């Protein structure tokens, strides 16, 4: 229990701005209760023999004003702030959902560094979100105070205005109107209250025993008519000064908070700008906390010249409230902003909520462009009493371009690293081509020359043939090994060099590959092409897919040729490339000894060159394709790979 009371007093508004906003209420309640106590003291100091009707009227006025003042006090905004936090205070009729919502709202408001505060003072009387109801409450307050002043002036002269013990009590009605509606509202309340003063001067209240003529002392009437305008004027002036001070302090606080938030987001974007996924995960959290949002969503937009922009629904979301109280409509709003390219801002009132305030869900989804192309969408959502204003829009307008710059920096850094890698691989490939490959080629040529010379010498006589037979066999083995080494070197050169691009098609790459294979291996290799190859165009996604599929087809063909050369003992190879709109397939067959499939299972093939058949199958499956290896009935092996576009 003690902890509950301690929490109660820790929730008392301590900030300067909150104290300024509550000042009119404190002044009003102090004035009203002080003047009621004055009327109570006045009642006990009545003459010794007052008229019975006068006693009844005074008692009735004291009772009415006491309960009326108590009701006004309990329903004042400041009082409700304390009472709703008092242990055990709750609406008995509130549903469990309403209580959970109230708890969620209070937790969100306590954690927020930017509470929902209006930049003006709090009115002394009950404040609702219905303007007409607020005006009606002030009108009723003027009527109650005017009638009490009129009927209570029955004991002394003058029988109106300053002659009433509740005259000063009634002046608080003009004060409340001046605080709430400045000079205009205070002036209208003064007219209403002064009407009862003038009416009491002309028509005495029932039970009046002292007959008093206004013309006997007109200063009494003048004094009664001057007090109310002065009180309203002072209240309106104080309200204006407080509003200016609150607005100035609020703007100063907003500037400091926004600068601090933007500084934190900027530092995070700079320090964490090394990985795109990590950057987005950290930035969505930093932006949500910096903007004091309940939920923040970042969705990247895929751009293609020939296709409408479409969002990546693997979005990055950071939320500080459960989906039960805060429904997720981010995908619908992201699609809407993506299609229209315009900012979306809305405010939806909650269907079930506490009676004390009208809360709603505020949405702000803002698109951001790069070179006139939609790049990303940032969506902010919060449970508030008002829609998002210019402050939140400006915050997102600043951090959005910063995030785009950070993402582009990461992309450019990755591209630079990739280009550097490709350049280094090309350099290594050139070094291999100009160095090791040339030496192996010369070794192969010299080996063939030596083998020819030995065969020529061996053919001169039978003895020479027998003597040189081992040498001839060793030289043939040396030639075979040198050719295999040369092919392996060329294989690694192809692995290092970039393959298909805008200047080299898959057909050209396969043609060059088979030409080199024939020159090195001495085997006959024939390329057959069906269909027309699709060319690169302005569609980046399509180009990327063509590049991936073409590279996989080339690597699979290269691996199949290497396996046939090293293990199949074939003399002829056939390569058939089929170009179709929906897929690309390649068939590599040889007339060798084939593969024994006893106990064969996918993934259990012998590793020949590199990763063997399993590597070829993985290349095809990664792109959604298939790979089949079979033995031809006439002898040899057939490898068929098909990959969809």
CB 74 within 8 A of CB 18: no
Asked if residue 373 belongs to a domain, the reply is yes
Helix H or strand E encompassing 630: strand 626-631
Q: What is the pLDDT of residues 457-501, one digit of tens each?
A: 777 777 777 777 787 777 777 777 777 777 777 666 666 655 555
CA distances from 77 to 11, 73, 121, 123, 495 (A): 14, 9, 11, 8, 76
| Domain presence at residue 105 | yes
Q: Is residue 423 part of a domain?
A: no
Query: Of 388, 419, 450, which one is at a domain's C-terminal end?
Result: 388
- Please tell me the least confidently modeled range out of 136-145, 175-184, 351-360, 553-562: 351-360
The verdict on 228 and 279 lying in the same domain is no
User: Given this model, what pLDDT does residue 483 score?
Assistant: 74
- pLDDT greater than 80 at residue 317: no
Note whether 218 and 162 are same-domain residues: yes
For residues 19 and 22, what is the distance between their CA atoms, to the nearest angstrom?
5
Residue 428 lies in a domain: no
Instruction: Let me know whether 57 and 160 are in one domain.
Output: yes
The answer to whether residue 400 is domain-embedded is no
User: Does residue 121 have a cis peptide bond before it, meaning omega lies within 30 degrees of 0?
Assistant: no
126 near 76, Cβ under 8 Å? Answer: yes
State pLDDT tens for residues 431-460.
Answer: 666 667 667 767 777 777 887 788 877 777
Six token digits for residue 227: 């007090």
Instruction: Say if CB 114 and CB 14 are below 8 A apart.
Output: no
| Residues 96, 227 share a domain | yes
Q: Do 225 and 197 contact (CB within 8 A), yes or no?
A: yes
Structure confidence by residue, pLDDT tens digits, 30-75: 999 999 999 888 888 766 566 666 778 888 889 999 999 998 888 8
Together in a domain, 520 and 645: yes
pLDDT band at 319 (very low <50, low <70, confident <90, very high): confident
The answer for residues whose C-beta is within 8 angstroms of residue 576's C-beta and 6 or more apart is 528, 529, 530, 586, 587
More confident: 310 or 169:
169
- In this predicted structure, the answer to whether residue 186 has a pLDDT above a threshold of 80 is yes
- Alpha carbon dihedral 285, 289, 292, 294, in 10-degree steps, equals 40
Phi, psi (deg, nearest 5) at residue 500: -85, 135
pLDDT over threshold 50, residue 255: yes
* Residue 240, both tokens: 């204006």
Q: Say yes or no: 240 and 344 in one domain.
A: no
CATH number, domain of 321, equals 3.30.450.40
Q: Residue 608: what pLDDT?
A: 37
Mean per-residue pLDDT, 194-215: 77
> Does a structural domain hold residue 106?
yes
User: Last residue of a domain, which of 357, 388, 419?
Assistant: 388
594: containing domain:
504-645
User: Which pairing describes strands 524-530 and 572-579: parallel, antiparallel, or unpaired?
Assistant: parallel
Residues 292 and 232 grouped into a single domain: no
* Domain annotation covers residue 111: yes
264 compared with 498, residue with greater pLDDT: 264
What pLDDT sits at residue 15?
A: 56
Residue with tokens 């404190």: 26
Whether residue 638 sits in one domain with residue 574? yes
pLDDT score of 518 more than 70: yes
**Do 161 and 307 reside in the same domain of the chain?**
no
Are 294 and 341 in the same domain? yes
**Long-range Cβ contacts of 326-333 (<8 Å, 24+ apart):** 326/294, 326/295, 326/361, 326/381, 326/383, 327/361, 329/363, 330/295, 330/297, 330/299, 330/379, 330/381, 333/363, 333/365, 333/379
188, 219, 252 - which closes a domain: 252
Share of the chain above pLDDT 70, in %: 73
Q: Are residues 138 and 68 in the same domain?
A: yes
Residue the block writes with tokens 């064969």: 600
Q: How far apart are CA 494 and CA 506, in angstroms?
A: 13
Asked if residues 500 and 547 have their Cβ atoms less than 8 Å apart, the reply is: yes
pLDDT for the residue 607: 32
Q: How confident is the model at residue 523 (pLDDT cuts 50, 70, 90)?
A: confident
Mean pLDDT of 559-565: 82
> What's the total number of domains in the chain?
3
| Residue 190 near residue 229 (C-beta atoms within 8 A) | yes
In this structure, is residue 453 part of a structural domain?
A: no
Question: Are 188 and 329 in the same domain?
Answer: no
> β-strands 373-384, 295-304: how paired?
antiparallel
| Residue 615, domain CATH | 3.30.565.10
């Amino acid at each position: 229990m003690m902890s509950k009371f301690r929490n109660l007093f820790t929730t008392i508004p301590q900030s300067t701005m909150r104290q300024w906003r509550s000042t009119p209420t404190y002044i009003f309640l102090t004035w009203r209760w002080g003047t009621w106590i004055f009327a109570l003291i006045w009642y006990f100091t009545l003459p010794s023999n007052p008229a019975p009707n006068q006693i009844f009227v005074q008692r009735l006025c004291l009772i009415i004003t006491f309960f009326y003042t108590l009701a006004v006090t309990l329903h004042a905004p400041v009082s409700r702030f304390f009472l709703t936090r008092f242990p055990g205070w709750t609406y008995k009729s509130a549903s469990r959902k309403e209580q959970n919502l109230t708890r969620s709202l209070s937790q969100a408001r306590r954690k927020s560094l930017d509470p929902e505060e209006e930049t003006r003072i709090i009115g002394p009387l009950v404040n609702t979100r219905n303007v007409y109801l607020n005006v009606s409450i002030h009108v009723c307050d003027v009527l109650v105070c005017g009638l009490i002043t009129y009927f209570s002036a029955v004991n002394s002269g003058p029988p109106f205005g300053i002659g009433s013990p509740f005259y000063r009590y009634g002046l608080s009605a003009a004060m409340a109107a001046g605080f709430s509606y400045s000079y205009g509202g205070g002036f209208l309340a003064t007219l209403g209250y002064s009407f009862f003063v003038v009416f009491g001067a002309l028509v005495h209240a029932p039970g009046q025993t002292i007959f008093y003529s206004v013309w006997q002392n007109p200063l009494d009437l003048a004094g009664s008519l001057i007090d109310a305008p002065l009180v309203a004027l002072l209240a309106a002036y104080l309200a204006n000064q407080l509003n200016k001070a609150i607005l100035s302090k609020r703007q100063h606080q907003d500037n400091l908070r926004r600068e601090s938030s933007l500084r934190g987001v900027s530092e995070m974007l700079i320090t964490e700008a090394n990985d795109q996924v990590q950057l987005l995960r950290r930035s969505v959290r930093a932006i949500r906390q910096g903007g004091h949002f309940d939920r923040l969503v970042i969705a990247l937009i895929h751009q293609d010249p020939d296709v409408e922009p479409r969002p990546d629904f693997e979005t990055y979301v950071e939320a500080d409230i459960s989906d039960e109280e805060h429904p997720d409509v981010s995908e619908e709003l992201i699609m809407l902003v993506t299609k229209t390219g315009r900012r979306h801002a809305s405010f939806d009132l909650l269907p079930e909520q506490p009676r004390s305030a009208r809360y709603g869900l505020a949405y702000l989804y803002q698109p951001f462009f790069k070179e006139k192309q939609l790049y990303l969408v940032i969506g902010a959502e919060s449970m508030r009493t008002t829609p998002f204003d210019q402050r939140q829009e400006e915050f997102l307008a600043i951090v959005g371009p910063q995030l785009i710059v950070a993402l582009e920096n990461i992309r450019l850094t990755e591209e630079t690293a990739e280009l550097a890698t490709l350049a280094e691989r090309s350099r290594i490939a050139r070094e291999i081509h100009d160095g090791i490959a040339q030496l192996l080629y010369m070794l192969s040529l010299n080996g063939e020359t030596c083998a020819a010379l030995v065969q020529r010498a061996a053919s001169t006589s039978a003895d020479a043939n027998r003597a040189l037979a081992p040498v001839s066999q060793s030289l043939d083995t040396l030639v075979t090994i040198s050719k295999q080494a040369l092919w392996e070197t060329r294989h690694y050169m192809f692995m290092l060099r970039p393959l298909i691009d805008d200047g080299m098609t898959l057909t050209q790459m396969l043609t060059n590959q088979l030409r080199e294979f024939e020159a090195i291996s001495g085997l006959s290799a024939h390329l057959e092409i069906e269909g027309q190859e699709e060319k690169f165009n302005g569609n980046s996604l399509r180009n990327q897919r063509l590049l991936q599929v073409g590279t996989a087809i080339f690597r699979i063909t290269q691996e199949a040729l290497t396996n046939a050369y090293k293990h199949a003992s074939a003399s002829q190879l056939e390569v058939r490339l089929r170009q179709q709109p929906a897929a690309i397939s390649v068939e590599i067959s040889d007339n060798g000894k084939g593969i024994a499939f006893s106990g064969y299972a996918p993934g259990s093939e012998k590793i020949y060159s590199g990763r063997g058949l399993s590597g070829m199958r993985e290349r095809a499956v990664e792109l959604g394709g298939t790979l089949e290896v079979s033995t031809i009935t006439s002898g040899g092996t057939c490898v068929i790979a098909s990959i969809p576009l």
